Structure 1
Amino acid sequence: MHGATYRAGLASGDLMAGMSLAEVIESRSSNLAPGDLVFTETGWQVFAVVPAQTLTKLPRIEPLSHLVSIYGVPGLTAYFGLLECGQPEPGDTVVISAAGGAVGSIAGQIARIKGCRVVGIAGGHAKCALLTGELGFDAAVDYKAGNLLEDLKSACPDGIDVYFDNTGGEVLDACLANMAQYGRIVCCGAVSQYDAGTPGAGPSGFPGQAILKSLTIRGFLLFDFLGEQERVISELSGWVNTGQIEVCEDVLEGFDSLPSALVGLLAGENVGKRMVKVF
């Protein structure tokens, strides 16, 4: 990416950055004991020494992977981004890009729970079939089919009330052109630009479409809502336990699979939250 980010770039020879669900082996902190589960920045390494104040202590649940997916950053990002920023109403048409990914797959299901008509944008027939089948989306648009603008119009004949943007780029362009009057755009990510060698052009419909349609466009970070995590995790847990949310996880095995896992993530291979199980 180009421009400011919330994580510093890495130089050659630096430890690769990465968050981990880890187990405490030894601690001098009175708040931690061997065997405790924690979530923290460890980087790509099997063992790490980190300050106790940087750890988030977590309960043991089954499966443990849910602590990283639905009850972790993806689930919380989907919840706050959609409900607090997008503010969908029952009957609204909600469009989710990267809808087969970690955040998008959850955001779309939350929109469905809230009584919205949900359209997912994903790459390939298999992901689109997953959205309308297992995850209960009302429609899916394959951006790789080459007719994104027209396919989106067909799927959203009354326009888009809420667009949850995980991609930026051409997908954002197409959604801007199809927004309904007073629509809301939630800017969550820009996966189309994460691995780009040069910065892409800005949306061709901005600011013109935003002005003509009186759109609200809001970016956010999960850090904006940290005080509400406990309440939201409880609500997400209720939806999972009653079968209203299907949790999609993509787990690879072994430390040596980390590089290919990252490359595949940027290529859009994953369905749901991609993780690597080291132990």
Structure 2
Amino acid sequence: MTAQRAQRIVLASRPDGHVSPDNFRLETVDVPAPAEGEVLVKVHYLSLDPYMRGRMNESRSYAQPQPLGETMVGGTVGEVVASRHAGFEPGEHVVGNLGWTEYGVAKGAALQKVDTSRIPMSAYLGPVGMPGMTAWYGYRKIIAPKRASETIVVSAASGAVGSVVGQLAKIDGMRAVGIAGGPEKCAYVVDELGFDACVDYKQAKDLRELARLVRAATPDGVDGYFENVGGDVLNAVMARLNTFARVAVCGLISDYDNKPDEPARSAILNPAMFLVARFKMEGFIVSDHLDLWPEGLKELGGHVGGGRIKYRETVAEGLASAPDAFIGLLKGRNFGKQLVKLV
């Protein structure tokens, strides 16, 4: 019998600065057969996320570098097509980390069943998945709002993570201020997601002007800040931090395309603020806190199912579109969660 064939995308070379399509290679391979205790999944949606850029480098990071010649890492949601694990049956929908591939095999313990009768399958890669949990943990456990009407600022506010942070803040009765790029994204953040204000960083020609825009949007200062961007955005918000503010550092996308010998754009220009405001700044990786995922996903699923958390998706069609879609994500061309639809 001829083996079934499918496509995958591997990392062909490491980027030197900006990612290019040449860093990837599309391959056709045999569909793997599941061994005892494993499950074969047909991927319906592939998640593209900024953290993948750091994995493409060989330098030290919070996770091992993506190996050359291997399937690109990535979250997926799809359908079980064959199972040698007692806990999974063909036709069930599961979330896993199968990567940029049309079919993947995983141990049953590495997969999570999802109910797509109430929540769309793709949402399990967005507000009810890793991005949503990232937002939930940084907001609930690091920013940890102390009283109603605190001011919570979120960079990349129209994205998959930032949009959830701001909506959780509004559910709790906080003042939510977003920072996003362009009038369309800012209008979405305010008019559809319900933020109180949004700063369009593209309207500022330099840090001084950006700081002025942030100051106007935060007349009572900033009590909590969820950081996704770094660079001038970080420094503009730091100048507005109230005493004992909390800063959750999720990402610094402004530095992701730096060359190895290039200085970081996210250098803190006024470290005296650590003393002036006595604020807490904490970086985090949500996979370090898997014990809290059931709690967070229960809350997020309830809000999404109940229409209290809204979300938007940018969907590229077909596996071959993944490299260009990923490059667009790094350049901010996506609107909301970036996905690749395979089925």
Pairing 1:223–2:324 present: no
**2:242 is matched with which residue?**
180
Considering only aligned residues, what root-mean-square deviation do their CA atoms show, in Å? 1.8
Pairing 1:95–2:153 present: yes
Matched residue SS, 2:254: coil
Task: Among all aligned residue pairs of Structure 1 and Structure 2, give the percentage whose two residues are the same amino acid.
Answer: 39
Segments of 5+ residues of structure 1 without an aligned counterpart are none
Pairing 1:196–2:253 present: no
Q: Name which of 99, 102, 115 aligns with 2:173.
A: 115
Residue 19 of structure 1: how far off its partner (Å)? 1.7
Residue 201 of structure 1: how far off its partner (Å)? 4.7
**1:160 is matched with which residue?**
222
C-alpha distance after superposition, 1:52-96 (max 9, x if no partner) = 332222223341111111110111111111011101231111100
Contact in 2 for aligned 1:176/1:205 (Cα 8 Å): no
Pick which of 36-45 and 110-119 moved more: 36-45
Pairing 1:70–2:127 present: yes
From the CA coordinates, give the structure whose radius of gyration is larger. Answer: 2
Contact in 2 for aligned 1:251/1:274 (Cα 8 Å): yes
Pairing 1:16–2:78 present: no
Q: Within 1, Cα distance between the matches of 2:307 and 2:99? A: 34
CA change 1:237–1:50 in 2 (3 A) is: closer
- Structure 1 consecutive aligned stretches of length 4 or more whose deviation exceeds 4 Å: none
C-alpha distance after superposition, 1:164-222 (max 9, x if no partner) = 00111211111111111111111111111222223415533453211111111112221
Pick which of 212-221 and 102-111 moved more: 212-221
Matched residue SS, 2:310: coil
Matched residue SS, 1:154: helix
Residue 11 of structure 1: how far off its partner (Å)? 4.9
C-alpha distance after superposition, 1:98-151 (max 9, x if no partner) = 001100011001111111111100001110111111111111101111121100
TM-score, structure 2 as length reference: 0.77
Contact in 2 for aligned 1:177/1:205 (Cα 8 Å): no
Aligned length: 279
CA change 1:51–1:254 in 2 (3 A) is: same
Matched residue SS, 1:263: helix
Q: Within 1, Cα distance between the matches of 2:309 and 2:67? A: 40
Segments of 5+ residues of structure 2 without an aligned counterpart are 1-53
Residue correspondence of structure 1 range 15-164 to structure 2 within 5 A: 15-61=71-117, 62-88=119-145, 89-146=147-204, 147-164=209-226
Q: Within 1, Cα distance between the matches of 2:198 and 2:282? A: 24
CA change 1:234–1:261 in 2 (3 A) is: same
Q: Within 2, Cα distance between the matches of 1:63 and 1:36? A: 14
Pairing 1:236–2:300 present: yes
Matched residue SS, 1:161: strand
Tell me which amino acid in the other structure corresponds to 1:260.
Answer: D
> Higher relative contact order at CA 8 Å, sep ≥6: structure 1 or structure 2?
2
CA change 1:214–1:244 in 2 (3 A) is: same
Residue 238 of structure 1: how far off its partner (Å)? 2.8
CA change 1:240–1:41 in 2 (3 A) is: closer
TM-score, structure 1 as length reference: 0.93
Pick which of 18-27 and 102-111 moved more: 18-27
C-alpha distance after superposition, 1:230-251 (max 9, x if no partner) = 3322322332343322122222
